[in-house]
Every structure is written in structure tokens, then in C-alpha cells.
Structure 1
């Protein structure tokens, strides 16, 4: 029903108007509107990938096939990854054949010695950076006692991370649309999995193909369930000075989706973290922590970083609008920890804020040229116990407030760029505002930077705010909780979107958060997803089903049949929008959250984070609000639960910065 209507919306006129996708509010309910018509806010998220190939302990032949999604006649590369964990792998007789012509794209039996191996293969990382792998050609180890390639993997020294060690074969010729067969002999001790994939190399690698195609399959399942919106990860080209941006990988990602569903409406998830070369060239703009080793990131408050990031975002959006004007529905810029705009390593023991750019930005924000960032010792101390002492720790709270506003103002600036680059015709989607979820942070909720949600709600350029389902109480029989003050989001005319990254029965032992609480059977998977959809329906939330790790989590038409089954309810609520304002109101205060001291989670965790699970078992629905909505008379609940009402008269906020 939606797909047919959408086709009419997009192409029913001889001269179609430009595609316009917005969030509009009717009867207090924000909805996605496509060319003036409200549509259901259901989305699929995933990226192209390949199916892992089992390598047997006893040794034997392996044959897999794939179809090339893109053309690369000279520089295609074949990548072989073996995962983490010590062990030995033996390979032999590796051949890639183009099925329509019989042409051998690649072939080796490893019998031509070290020179032949070096001619055909490269290793990455190389030299001292390779701390886990040793390769050798060993007679008698291959198929039928011939020479085989022996790969010995061992754990990296100490507590170092496993590098992404892999073999790759460059300079291959692959043709788009052709079917290829990969055959090899392999043995692994212990048994493990091989990740085999083909790419076009460049600043950003383009996935050409590999065994299995969960991505396209899930896009087609979504389309069959009348879910045309597709979210997917892409890198943002960020060229060095004097170089041109290369958008080929971005274009290829869009083309892959549109090949699976020509009517798909795309909202790419755009990475805005500064590349390593930029951080090396701008060391004062790189984050500094109180200790420990951390993944390098730029200081969010740095005007130098912001200008570069917003420029890259603007150019990417304008490129995509010119290249795919009738297929792009919106843009979702991401960065910092897991791309969700909370400070990198928020959940860790160290504190950020010690780069020269932090000090400069703090002084500019405060208006005090002599302002100082509180020391780690001051921030780790808690002389007043759970809460900061206003008499002696005002500077700590002030710096904490600065970090919230810096993050909120930057995501608002991103949304403004999207609106400017699309002439206001496309959605801006932002991760922000986890005001309940971050009550569990040991060093204090506000180390996250997510406690200036009101600034984001007041930003006219943000359409959709989003987060995953809470990682607390998401198991079978749990509440399936929301991370934010969702009803305050709706009161502000924004749409809240829930990222449903429930681990389905199709994958196991992923290592991702929420893995243990996932489902091991199809029936349990359906039960969890149906519970989550019921929450989203009644509270007027959008959602995307997330193939986290691009491993085919939702590659089952039965699951999508459940998504299709709720379409009549979606349509009913589109036709008769009804705001969700139950009699019970859960209220959290952003300003008070800034006053939790280090280790204040002994109070913030039960009061804010865990309390939602108890509320979900009341036997009655509850809404989630910000305290300033309560103070303004916008919360209609008859029973109001105040989770952290420690500060009742917050200081006036600093004014929003001018547009860039």
C-alpha cells in the first residue's frame, strides 16, 4: 500500500516536483511527510557485507559464488580475513573464475615459491604493526600433500588490540553484474571462519562483492513490507588540502541499495569524525584525556574542527542531492563514541577536556580569558558526596555545562547545514539526548555531553532525534525501555526514532552491547520485535531495524511479515493522530544531572537509569519528560515522578551561537 502510494507521490506527474521529506506535527503528533503525505516511520538499516565461510578442522575443498555489484577492471582486490584468536590456517589451490566466460581472474597453487607469493599477495598491517600473523609456504601441508600457505596466528602482546590483519590480492579485473566462483582448499586448527570480500580500493573502499548478499536481500524484504526508507553507513570524503573529494564509494553505496529497491528512500549515516591525517596536522584540536589510551578524535568544541567537518558535510550533501535528488530522504551525521555524539570513551574511567582547543573554547564560551579547565584531581574528587558542592565546585559544574552546550550546539550546526544544502527539503537526523540512559555512567551522567537536550529541541533545523533501545531491561519479558524524555521530544515537534538493534536468532555471540539479551529462536525474536513495535506505535515513535555489523540479522521474510502486519495500525494512527500523554509522568532534570559528582552513579543509576524498569511494571503506561516542561505546565500527568529534582532554578543558558 505504502509502496504504491509512494510511487505515485514520486512520479505521478509529467514534471515531478522536487522530492520533499519533512517532519510535520498533526494533533500533537510529529510524523514523517513525503511530498505532503504522512507516511509510516519504519526504516531498515544495514550495510553491504559478505557471509562468513567456515574453515574445517579436517581440511577440505570450499566453493562459494558471488555477483559483482560494481565494475573495477584493473584494481579490484580480494581480501581474506580470519578473525581473532590463535590458531593455524592452511590454504591451497585458490582460484577465482568468471562463470559466463570461464576466465580465471586469479589462480595460485602456491607452488612457485616466495617470489610468486609476494607477486600475488600483500599483507596488512605490515612490519612491526603486524603483531599477530606469520605466513610461510610449507611443503606437504596443502591439498594432497602439496605446498600450502601456512598462516600462524597468535595473540598480540599484553593487552594490545588485535589488528585487522588480512591478506589481499590486488590488480584483479571484475565486471559488474558478472557471477564469479571462488574455490580453494583450506584447513584450520581450530576450526574458524573466513571473511572473503572483493573491493575497489581508494580513499574509501567500495564493496564489490562476496559470498552471500544479506544487504540486498533485507532491502527487498523491507520493500515487500512497505518499508522504503533505508539507512546505511558511508564515510564522508575529507580530502587533504589540494586534493579533490572522491565520492565514488558514496555513490556506489547508494547505487547498491537502489539496485535492490529502485523506489528506496535513502538516509545515509555520514561519519563526521576527523581523519587521522587531519588530527596529525592539527594536534591542538585533538582530544586529550586524563590518562589511558584512547581512539583519536577531534575536540567537539574546536572551531577549526567544526569548520572542516561542516564543510565536508555540506559538500557531501550537495553532491548527493545533485546525484540522487529523488532518492535522498535525509541525512544522519554521526561522530564521537559509536557515532552517537556522546564524548569518546564516556563509559570509561578517564576524563576528556585537556586539549589546548578545549581550554580556548571554554574561555570563549565563559567570556573569561583567564578561565581554567578543572584538573582531573578536582573532577575525580567528590568532597560533597553524591552531588557537587556549589560553594567549592562551581567551576566544575560550569565546565560540565560548557561540554553539554558544545555538543548540542554542534549537532544543531550540522542540522542547519543539511537544511541549507537541501533548501529545507530533506530530513536531518541526529543521535542526542540520552538523558535517562546515561544515569548509569560511573563518572557522572554529564560526562556524556547529552544534557543540553533542550537546546536541540529548540533548534528549528533538527527533524528527528534517535537512540538505540535502552540496554537496560531489553530482554525477553523486559520493558524495552526508552533512553530519552520522548514525550518532551514530541512536545517540541520533533520525531523520536528508536534504533532496534535487538540481536535476532540469525546471529550469535556478536560481542555487541545487548547480545546476551537477544533472541535465540525465531519465536523469541518475533516476540521481542513485536513488543518493541507496540511501544513505538502507542508512543508515536519511528524505528529502524538495524542489521548491526551487517551480518544479516533481519534476513528472514517472517520477521518482515510482522512489520507488514502492523501497517494497518500505522495507517490508522496516521489518519487519526493521537498524542501520547498518559496519566503517569516520569520527569528528569537536565540541570540537576550536571551536579552529580564522580561515582555519583550510586544515586543516578537507581534514580534515573534503573527506575524505568520499575515504572514499566506498574501495569499502567507512563510518559517521559524534561523537568522544564513540567515547570512550564506542559506535562499532563496526574501522577508525576521526579527522578532528580535537585536544582529548581537553573541559570540562564548561554545564547545559541550564530549560524556558520
Structure 2
């Protein structure tokens, strides 16, 4: 098999394959019968995530959706890799130098669930699924994973396998089904053991689901409820790390392993399972982390599609951010059209084009959606995998031409020896442990309004974990703390700001979100540089600067000093040395510039 690792090159974490720096741009789809493999091969892409699952049971406990027709371990007596391997061979037939990343859904088949009644969680739809921190699941799941990895290692395509992505639980993103921490009979003994080991308390009892429901009171007063919130998030992280270690050992620690995790910038759930990134970010078993672009406001134009993870902390720890870019286009159909007669009419509705499942109405606007997404990711030095969920979303010459050009930009970017000549003045701190202090759907945990407002100030920002405050604060002029009930690490981060003389803005129980005007006032009072005075979205980093706006017209990007500026895309501009980039921008468009 190929040898792969994440290394720091030119100041950023980068994917290396057999010792050579690799452009980490990839493609995948849930519905491979509607794939765009050939289109992406022709556009220069070489990394393909291929989905495979232990089971055909649903990946979504609410809609009961599953993309899989075959589960490898559905039959306890015979493994079945036919669905998975059919499309690997299709890709390699057309592109022998393609690099395959198996994207594995680790979830137990029905026969296992039936055989382990004390190790299951009952979903709101009445289905039995494995408890994510069950020792039986960890043990048997790891054994199945070993079988799958060894099958691939011994296959005739093993020489083209370059890495692994591990998925689990709700929507494959290591979030608890129904977002309530697998509270139920299967959690009783694991929680009791953890409380004894951690706090020395005997005979701990499970909190009730009702103890996490927001009823108007903001502060969680039950210490037991707080403990369970901490436990279930750490337990999910431990399960993921066990499976990642399993793959690492089976591949002699010679291939990269990654996963979804760490959604602390977009959450309203205390018992989500994703609030323990601090326990994974330094794990030797995980090399990259993934999340989608934010879905806030159905990804409207005129706002930043922000990160859901604290990507700047992840990079600081030497890990690659490999971002899911499931960007809808005018070709995005309903799931029912994509697979007729297979799914109920009431799941993933298009709602007359106004929903998170609908794309822009035209090819031009679809291209603008891709450009908007790309500008954010390249300025964050993040890798990209285009997620063509139902298939066929990008089967258009205009869109594929754009995606090919983006691949070339990334190819050029990884070869350059530039440094981050421009960096944000503002750091936005994620405090994942603070979630234990409140309730699901409490205003104190719903920070998306503040994140959205920050993207409309004309000022870019970085996102970091409060646990990293000591090592990052010196890089910024100001800090923003959006969680109104901080953890102990959050409190220490604010105390550090005070000792270092760094101004900070802190949410409180009485004032849990910040408006654009409040942020602008705070920035101006503390010498933050404004790249735009028109409340446009500004992207800065990795040697690039960009601007997105829902409003067309003349735009100005004011730089802190003069730089050599070259156009990448989005407008007409004569390359020049300047401290103010002036250009015309169309409505809902994005312009991106290279600076040096």
C-alpha cells in the first residue's frame, strides 16, 4: 500500500504520499451509480473517498436514511465487499494512478444488535443500535475493522490505497443518535465505572433526558448532569480513538487516518458527542479532522459559510483539516429523484428550492457557490473533499471547468514557499467543555448568530480552542469568547487575556450573542484592521485575500500595507503593488487575490 503522512510544509499541515507533497483535494458520492468519477479524473483529481459500511442499517436515526445497499458484515457467516469494490475497480480502470481512501461506516449489523440487548440504545424511532461506548461494540467493532482492513491489504488494488476515513453513529459524524448521549440502560454501567474512576464516587445514577431540556433556566445546576455531559463526549472520543488506533496498527502506522469530529462552533446539543476534541487533537492515531461548511441560514449568499471546527487550533497541533464541501448546485435533485421508489417522500425535502437540500437556481450561481466555498478553504489552508451526495451535482462543463481550475490553484499553492503574509487580528475561542454547564437549545450554547455576525464585519478571524490560549494569544489583537458559561479552561483563557493586555469580548447569560454593530464597535476601539467597511465577508490567510458580497458594485479591500496583488478569480483586475485593491464585483460573487 502507499505510505502517507501529514507533515508541516511551508508552515501548514500537508498530505504527503510516498514522501511527496500531495494536493489534498478529493471527490466522493453516496450514490456511486450517479458518480462524476470520470469528470473529476479529467479535471486532474486523483484522491477518491469510497464509502463502505458494516451494515445497511440507517446512518440517520431521524429520517432512517441509508445510502448502502450492501453491508460488509450483514451476513455473520460471509463478508460482502461487492458494492464497495465495484466502484474502486471502475475508478482504477479509468485512472490507474488514483488514490483510494476507504470511508468506513463503523456500525453494527442487525444480528449483532439482536445478540447484545444490554449494549444498545433505543432511538426515538424505536430502533436498537449499538451504544457508542459499549465495550462489546469497541471490541467487536475493532475485530470487524481488522477483517475489513486486512481484506483491503490483501486485495489487488491495495497498492492504490493511500489513507482511511472512519465514520460512526448519527450521519456518520460521531454524533450520538438523537443527540442525547446514548442515555439509556446501556449507559448505566459504563457511566458508573467512569464516575468511580474519575471522581471516586460510588453507585452513580444516570441523569434523565429531561435534565438537559431547556425550559428558560440557563445554568445547569445538577452536578450529575454535568458529569454525564463530560463523560459521554469523552467516551465518544475514546471510541473513535480506539478504532483509529486499530487501523494504525494494521497499517504499521504508515498511512493517514482521519474522521469527522469537533463541531464546537456549530452546535445546540449538550450531549452531542463531538465536544472532546481536546482528547483527540494530539492523538497519534488521527491525522486529519473533517466537518462540513456551516449550514446556517441554508448557506445563503452574503454570509460566511464558517468552519464548524476550531480549524486554527487543529492546524497548530499538526493535523490536517480535510473539509467536507457538500456544495449544492442547480443540478441537485431530491433524493427521491436520484433513487426513485427507494426513499419516503418526506425525507430531505426541497421545499420549493428553499432548504439546506436545495442548490442555487442557475449554473452561474452554482459556480459562485463553489468559489465562495473555495476562497474560505484556501485561506484557511484546509484540504477539500467535494461531496456529491446524491450524485450528478457537478456534471456540468462550467462547474467542472471551475473545479479543474481550483485543483490547479491548489497544485500551484503547495509548491510555493510563501508564508502567511497576512493573518487575522481576531481570534474566536471555542469552549467545548462549557456545554456541560447548560442545556440543549439554551441561548448560551447557540453561538451560530455570533459566528454569522463575525463573518459580516469586514474583518477575518481565526478559530481556536480555549485550551490553546496560552500558545496562540500573542498572535492576535483581540479575542472573542462566545460561550456565556465558560469552563475552567475558558476562564483561564480570559484571565490570560487580562494579564497580557489583550482586549476581549465575552458573552454573558444576559447578553449571549453579539451583533455586527457591537463587534465593529469593539474592533474599532481596539485597533483591529478593517479590510472592508461595507460589512462584506473577507477571507485572509495562506497568502491570499478574498471578498464575498451579496451586493454588487465597486469594492475595496484595504490591506495593512502595500503588497504585490495578483488576481486569482472573480473580477477584472490588473496585477499591481497596492495597499487598496479596487474592483467591481457582481451580486453574490467572490473575488480572490494572491498577495506577496
TM score, norm. by length of structure 2:
0.71
- Find the counterpart in structure 2 of residue 223 from structure 1: 41
Contact 1:29–1:577, Cα closer than 8 Å, also in 2: no
Matches within 5 A, 1:120-519: 214-215=34-35, 218-236=36-54, 237-238=72-73, 243-288=77-122, 292-323=124-155, 324-346=157-179, 351-367=180-196, 368-380=201-213, 385-389=217-221, 393-438=222-267, 441=268, 445-473=269-297, 474-510=299-335, 511=348, 515=356, 518-519=359-360
**1:585 to partner: Cα distance:** 0.8
Q: CA deviation at 1:47?
A: 4.5
RMSD: 2.3
Question: Alpha carbons of 1:229 and 1:381: their partners in 2 closer, same or farther (altered >3 Å)?
Answer: closer
Taking the aligned partners of 1:508 and 1:288, their CA distance within structure 2 comes to: 32
Q: Secondary structure at the match of 1:326?
A: helix
| SS of equivalent residue, structure 2 residue 258 | strand
CA distance in 1, matches of 2:481, 2:419: 25
Structure 1 SS opposite 2:6: strand
**Any unmatched runs of 5+ in structure 1?**
1-17, 51-213, 652-660
Q: Distance in 2 between matches of 1:19 and 1:426?
A: 7
Per-residue displacement from partner, 1:440-463 (whole Å, max 9, x unpaired)?
x2xxx3221111011110211111
Listed as ranges, the matches of 1:612-627 within 5 Å are: 612-627=451-466
Provide closer, same or farther for how the CA distance between residues 568 and 230 of structure 1 changes in structure 2, counting only shifts above 3 A.
Answer: closer
Q: Find 1:522's aligned residue among 344, 363, 376.
A: 363
Distance 2:49 2:464 in 1: 28
1:643 is aligned, of 455, 467, 482, to: 482
Pair member with larger Rg: 1
Q: Distance in 1 between matches of 2:304 and 2:319?
A: 24
Per the TM alignment, residue 36 of structure 1 is displaced from its structure 2 partner at its CA by 1.1
Secondary structure at the aligned position of 1:19 is classed as coil
Deviation at 1:411, TM superposition (A): 1.1
Deviation at 1:336, TM superposition (A): 1.0
1:625, 1:635 within 8 Å by CA — same for their partners in 2? no
Q: Provide, for residues 5-62 of structure 1, a one-character-per-residue CA deviation record: whole Å limited to 9, x for no partner.
A: xxxxxxxxxxxxx521221112431111111111211111125555xxxxxxxxxxxx
- 8 Å CA contact retained: 1:269, 1:331: yes
Residue 315 and residue 581 in structure 1: after superposition, are their counterparts in 2 closer, same or farther (change >3 A)?
farther
How far 1:546 sits from its partner (Å)?
1.2
Deviation at 1:512, TM superposition (A): 6.4
Aligned residue pair count: 449
Alignment equivalent of 1:544, drawn from 378, 385, 407? 385
* Residues 20/516 of structure 1: CA separation in 2 closer, same or farther (3 Å cut): closer
Q: Which residue of 1 aligns with 2:18?
A: 35
Measure, in 2, the Cα distance between the counterparts of 1:42 and 1:515: 24
Evaluate the alpha carbon distance shift between residue 362 and residue 255 of structure 1 in structure 2; reply closer, same or farther with a 3 A threshold: same
C-alpha contact 1:353 1:373 (8 A) present in aligned 2: no
Residues in 2 aligned to 1:582 and 1:447: alpha-carbon distance in whole angstroms: 32
Uncovered stretches (5+) of structure 2, i.e. residues with no partner: 55-71, 336-347, 491-596
How far, CA to CA, are the matches of 1:330 and 1:541 in structure 2? 17
Partner of 2:428: 586
TM-superposed CA distance for 1:598, in Å, is 4.0
Q: Match of 2:239, SS?
A: helix
Task: Give the deviation of 1:425 after TM superposition.
Answer: 2.1
Q: Give the C-alpha shift of residue 239 in structure 1.
A: 5.9
CA shift, 1:307, in A, is 0.8
